[in-house]
């Protein structure tokens, strides 16, 4: 049903500062930074092998990322799995009784179609489904 780990989403307070760690200490390369207005986040992408890291900084105090950091601190926020047909997968999840945060996909960074599953249905992990062209 899912093809691969598309990316790991990491909530950070300071994007530039965090990118430094991944570039200078771990040797990754920043691919780009994008602001996703709808989700009130600024996102930095760092490819790593067949997947990538997505660093997320809140652009507003009511951003989901700001709320996450407020309650849990900085750190891994979500896992994103790549799917071919997100509408179809969401339909199947619903049939299986999985609680969805997004009944319909919305657009995330890089023009990907994304939808989140509720952590109550996934043993505590915020799971993102993600459909995009390579």
Where on the chain is the footprint of Zn ion (CB under 5 A)? Answer: 9, 54, 80, 128
Closest-CB residue for Zn ion? Answer: 9
Least CB distance from residue 114 to Zn ion, whole Å? Answer: 7
Residue closer to Zn ion by CB (options 23, 52) is 52
Smallest distance from Zn ion to CB 37, Å: 15
- Number of Cβ within 10 Å of residue 107's Cβ equals 12
Nearer to Zn ion, 49 or 97 (CB): 49
CB under 8 Å, gap of 24 or more: what pairs does 62-67 form? 63/39, 64/39, 64/40, 65/11, 65/40, 65/41, 66/40
Output the six-digit token pair for 2: 């899912």
Nearer to Zn ion, 80 or 90 (CB): 80
CB of 112 to Zn ion, least distance (A): 8
Taking the C-alpha atoms of residue 74 and residue 120, their distance in angstroms, rounded to an integer, is 21
């Amino acid at each position: 049903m899912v093809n691969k780990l598309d990316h790991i989403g990491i909530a950070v307070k300071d994007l530039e500062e965090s990118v430094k760690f991944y570039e200078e200490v771990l040797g990754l390369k920043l691919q780009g930074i994008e602001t996703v207005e709808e989700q009130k986040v600024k996102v930095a992408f760092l490819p790593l092998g067949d997947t990538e890291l997505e660093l997320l900084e809140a652009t507003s105090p009511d951003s989901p990322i700001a709320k996450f950091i407020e309650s849990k601190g900085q750190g891994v926020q979500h896992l994103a799995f790549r799917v071919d047909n997100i509408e179809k997968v969401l339909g199947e999840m619903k049939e299986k009784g999985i609680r969805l945060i997004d009944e319909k996909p919305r657009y995330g960074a890089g023009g990907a179609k994304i939808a989140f599953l509720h952590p109550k249905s996934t043993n505590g992990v915020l799971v993102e489904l993600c459909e995009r062209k390579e």
